[in-house]
Structure 1
Amino acid sequence: PGTEHPGTEHPLCEALGSLALVELLRGRLRRAAEHARACLAVAERSALPPERRTGVDHLVLAGVAVEQDDLPAARHHLDLAAAATGVRPDPATAARAAVIGARIALAEGDADAALAALHAVAVARLSDRVVAELAVAESAVHLGRGDAEAALKVLDAAAADGPERAVARARALLALGRGACAAQALEAVPAAGDDGDAPATTVRAHASLLRAQLAEEDGDAEEARRRLAEALALARPEELRRMFVETGPWMRRVLDRDPASARLHGWLTPGAPVRTARAARADGRPPVVEPLSAREVEVLRKAAEMLSTEEMAAELFVSANTVKTHLKSIYRKLCVTRRSDAVHRAQDLGML
């Protein structure tokens, strides 16, 4: 994006939003975030009015953040997606918004709100696949409440089958102490392949994690280590942290037994998000999700020197309009609206 012609901004945003959502569903979080941010950039550059925006870009960023266990950012983007008053999303996208909202609410400890979000979805116009996605999300809420029977019941009532439902059933069966049935359910999750039908990365990583838990319950320590390494290898490129948090104390016990492995997988509890969360100011703004580019950091440093827009442009050998574009992007990424606030926020976060 960057060369769009007048009048094409809205369809371009829609296309980028759709691509972002598809990549999110495939578990390709980095690609999903890239498309979502490109969508936001097009909307900002073209000053696309709110009534022509769907909020899918922020919705995808919320989905990415919750998978990466960055709950403040997830809630922030979900709120921005909900505030979009433009083009009404199609029923499937609205249902997926409810799924993401439920995941965030459950992670925040509000299971009632999670169930309310899912039960508010009208399923009459949805495909069996999307209805199954709702069932998987609801089963996770019941598991979070410690009701594995209810989790299994809602999954068994879903019409559509697929690897996501198989993993969710395995989770419920494992919680019920039915390891053999859980292992059988996981047989429906195929390994990665070169075709387009391979399960999403999130699904394959979760399946490997469950197989590791099953192997440990069977007393096969070597298989448990192998399967856990497999899960971590799949999860690390996309920084899929939430699934490991949801295993409860089991993952912590595994890492405590193997300090070398814990150091190797420090990305599971990264220092940067903790530091930025502590640095967040009392106004409740979330930590930065998208890092500033090298050029944006240069602009921010010049802003900290109290230079005018024209002075910054002269020192950086760019136009004043380019500086303004960089500043707008900085404001968005730091969740501020003024230059002085951007400098103070960056200082709080240790970026300057």
Structure 2
Amino acid sequence: MQQPDEQRAITTARHVLSGLIRAGIRDLVISPGSRSAPLAYAAAEAEAAGILAIHVRIDERSAAFMALGLSQSTGRPVALAATSGSAIGQMLPAVMEANHTATPLLVLSADRPDELHGTGASQSTRQKNLFGEHVRLAANVAAGVDPGDQVQQALAALAGDQHSAAGPVQLNLQFRDPLVPAPQERIIGQAWTAIEPGVWQGSAPAQQLGMPAQDLVPRRTVVIAGHGAGAEAQRFAQELGLPLFAEPSSNARFSANAIGHYRPLIAVGMEHIERVVLFGRPTLSRPVGKLLANPVIDSVIWQPAPVAWYEAGRRRETPVSSWSQLQEFAGTGAENWLAAWQQL
């Protein structure tokens, strides 16, 4: 029974989505279910106002991986919603991937109120901390209370800071009946949707100015762009005239510096490589792993902020957080160095 002084479930859902949209979240992937109905109705209102895009997927596991891919491709957090119980457990594989790739994935786990737990109520489980160490934060919003503080905590954890990498967050939303809007309410023209969508800022460190290329020592350096390296790796290689070995998931494989078929070519040219600069996370390429493990080749990793995929001191590469220091290590491409790889 709803108490007179508590807010309705639909109001909580609207407050949550309002906070997310103002922060720059523009996509919600949702798997239909009864307990998540408040989120579905509020999302429909936001979509009708043109401030949110909804993606409906029946299977929660598929929905979670779709949200993961959306976030990685757009660079923005993506919200992921499902009903209570085992449905939330289906998201664990994607949450684990988001943890290790520092992907800001926000799980909005609809839940039953505390009074229904331990009663045998359908689709109820202990889900407040279901994802354990694989989320940066697990925050619970009790039924009938304003979610403002928890939403702000979730947004901060999604972005990360200089001490903690960005990554997935669980915001557990306990909804008490009624789960639907009042009968007279309509999807179109909801007052709460008259908000200005924000632009996601994240916690990316400010880019530092580099050194002029003519002041650098010519070297036989290669740049490796692993998962999530992005355009930064491509720009670095292009400015210094260095060959770029860019993995498919790096989002850095564009420009003439990107060497096609680099994996088999590494074995041919490794003996000529003096130094390696690594951006992002190297994944399934054994030749790249062999190159990075070569004890006679000096290597560094660009790490201006914490990362989630390895522990400090566990990799061979020296972390570098200064753009000028990274350029000084790499040097400018030696004469015909890039051209030789392109010809090869």
TM-score (norm 1): 0.24
- Higher RCO structure, 1 or 2 (CA under 8 Å, sep 6+): 2
Bigger radius of gyration, 1 or 2?
2
TM-score (norm 2): 0.24
The structure carrying a bigger helix percent of its residues is: 1
The structure carrying a bigger strand percent of its residues is: 2
